[in-house]
Amino acid sequence: MTSKIKNLGEIGLIERLTKRIKLDKSVVLGAGDDAAVIRWTRDRYLLYTCDMIIEDVHFRLKDAAPFQIGRKALAVNISDIAAMGGVPRYAVISIGINPATPVSFVDRLYRGIEALAKRFKINIVGGDTNSSRKLVIDISLLGEVEKENLVTRSGAKRGDLILITGAIGGSIKGRHLNFMPRLAESRRLVKNFKINSMIDVSDGLILDLGRILKASSCGAVIYEMAVPLSKDASSFASAIKNGEDFELLFTMGQKEAARFFKTELARFGTDVSMIGEVVEKRNGIKLVDGTGRIRNIKAKGYTHFD
Amino acid sequence: MTSKIKNLGEIGLIERLTKRIKLDKSVVLGAGDDAAVIRWTRDRYLLYTCDMIIEDVHFRLKDAAPFQIGRKALAVNISDIAAMGGVPRYAVISIGINPATPVSFVDRLYRGIEALAKRFKINIVGGDTNSSRKLVIDISLLGEVEKENLVTRSGAKRGDLILITGAIGGSIKGRHLNFMPRLAESRRLVKNFKINSMIDVSDGLILDLGRILKASSCGAVIYEMAVPLSKDASSFASAIKNGEDFELLFTMGQKEAARFFKTELARFGTDVSMIGEVVEKRNGIKLVDGTGRIRNIKAKGYTHFD
């Protein structure tokens, strides 16, 4: 039987390429986090990421306005830079689009990109347009972060509390097209607190938590009752697996978390919930439900090829 | 009648987005050249570009081996960095691919990317993979260039000679899948000579020459007999319009060109031909044929939406 990509999984697919190409010393962190980290100036790193969205995979033309599609294409990238503690600076945009598309559609799509570019002061410095049957937009985004504010997936420590911004689940009902990347929240966090690890929840809470845990060689206990569900979420079970929440999932030491809740939360502007604790790796991920019953859960969520 | 993208043209499509977003002072050069130029260190600029290739637009699976497709996806980007006088450093790769694709196909595609990444010491620092019916690969490439070696499209001067590496035409017969980006040539040129303007010939000699002339507010006279045709070229008329030659087209002052031909060409390793001269803008592009007859020619070539 021929081995197909769908049996390999998305992460295996990326790793297959990146693991065999050596990186030079200027690369602080290669593939495998929300963005790559590259040496830049004495006190700052460069962050580098890309995200592609494709018609009928990430959006349907009958459900999404062109403004929303353009906006989302940039928003998912900003979310990646936010997850590293940085700020976005420069973007290049590749678009494949059907030549029969009305110009007015493109103008509205661009207005969606422009809206976020202006809000977050991102320089759109280049692009490539191609004819394509299905609409495809790939944005590559460069950001920067002060060395001391960089947060990766690999810094979670046993005893850390696990926190999340906003609420999760049911994003497909519309939030995935309209969400505001948690950039302001990320910057307030990294500038004022010691954040040990962070990721943006793009492929489901449990899958993305699993990525932090794998990178940090840790396990976790999650308290079901503490997980903030969106009003759009149909159930807890689906909410923790569905993708595209674009909330920040992060861990910090207990004292630091206490300081956050005491001094910062009231003026933070966005809800932050403590949903669990980082434990030893051998525990895997344990879920504690409302009755105190504990069960093991696998790090599953949305991937393109699973 | 609704205005369609195909009536707008590729350049109009990109400009529609980039012209309305203001750039901050750190951007030396935004969209409109082979790569964007961003302030980097005291003595170097960062170069930033992206290029997307799509199944059945840029290649057909029945004509192109997966190795060649991967290789080409990176090669076209390296060619853009070369056209600015720089060296490529970091790449992120977005791929849309059918989940039913055999893993062996992906491995060979990656080997094509890897081959050039190794040769040119490019760090592959990230990626995004998605399911897609048609294969689409978008690579974004960061490069760097010493400030004094940067070459743009806008520096051509009246009296400059117009030069081109290699030979053009008939690339579709195979060269477009196997070409070696003219990076070594570009670096020898910018390090040892004053190059006033440069572009890589991706959309046809005349169209890309037109881009230099427009950016530099100049015209040109091209000598038909001097244009080096590839053995694959079917005619002069088609060779100067067909795309994907990926040769370097550049201009330099007459004395500097004479010094190049006298001191450098013999050891340069790649043919360089003098094909014409930069003249005043009001001349447009004039073509002089073998009998000395002069005719005007419009800057046409391959674009996705014309």
Predicted local confidence at residue B145, as pLDDT:
98
| Dihedral angle over CA of A60, A64, A68, A74, nearest 10 | -10
pTM: predicted TM-score of the whole model, two decimal places: 0.94
Residues A234-248: what's their mean pLDDT?
94
**Alpha carbon distance B15, B104 (integer Å):** 40
Give whole-number Cα distances, A13 to A1, B61, B130, B236, in Å. Answer: 19, 20, 10, 44
For the stretch A161-200, pLDDT in tens is 999 999 999 999 999 999 999 999 999 999 999 999 999 9
Option in A6, A54, A125 nearest B130 (CB) = A54
| Dihedral angle over CA of B286, B287, B292, B295, nearest 10 | -70
CA distance A25 to chain B (A): 10
Q: Chain A residues with CB inside 8 Å of B28's CB?
A: none
CA distance A185 to chain B (A): 24
Chain A interface mutation, best of B92, B97, B135, B200, highest count of A Cβ atoms under 10 Å: B92
Predicted local confidence at residue A10, as pLDDT:
60
Instruction: Indicate the average pLDDT of chain A.
Output: 93
Predicted local confidence at residue B138, as pLDDT:
97
Judge whether residue A306 has pLDDT over 60. Answer: no
Radius of gyration of chain B measured on its C-alpha atoms = 19
Confidence of residue A17 (pLDDT cuts 50, 70, 90): confident
Helix axes A10-18, B103-119, angle to 10 degrees: 30
Confidence of residue A79 (pLDDT cuts 50, 70, 90): very high
For each of the domains in chain A, give its residue range(s) and CATH number, in order of start.
5-148 (3.30.1330.10), 152-297 (3.90.650.10)
Q: Count interface pairs A-B at CB distance under 8 A.
A: 260
Q: Do A90 and B36 touch (CB under 8 A)?
A: yes
Q: Chain B residues with CB inside 8 Å of A133's CB?
A: 134
Judge whether residue A297 has pLDDT over 70. Answer: yes
Predicted local confidence at residue A5, as pLDDT:
73
Q: What contacts B87, CB < 8 A, 6 or more positions away?
A: B81, B120, B143, B144, B145, B183, B187
Please indicate whether residue A1 or residue A259 has the higher confidence score (pLDDT). Answer: A259
CA distance B66 to chain A (A): 14
Q: Chain A residues with CB inside 8 Å of B123's CB?
A: 21, 23-24, 26-27, 30
- CA-based nearest residue to B47, from B18, B92, B93, B87: B87
For the stretch A192-213, pLDDT in tens is 999 999 999 999 999 999 999 9
- Phi and psi of A184, rounded to 5°? -60, -40
Q: Do A126 and B10 touch (CB under 8 A)?
A: no
Q: What contacts B223, CB < 8 A, 6 or more positions away?
A: B275, B276, B288
Option in A30, A57, A128 nearest B130 (CB) = A57
Which pair of tokens denotes residue A118?
């202006």
Please indicate whether residue A21 or residue A107 has the higher confidence score (pLDDT). Answer: A107
**Alpha carbon distance B212, B199 (integer Å):** 7
**Alpha carbon distance A172, A233 (integer Å):** 9
Counting as low any pLDDT under 70, the low residues of chain B are: 1-2, 7-12, 301-306
DSSP state of A173: G
Q: Chain A residues with CB inside 8 Å of B7's CB?
A: 103
| Element (DSSP H or E) covering residue A10 | helix A10-18
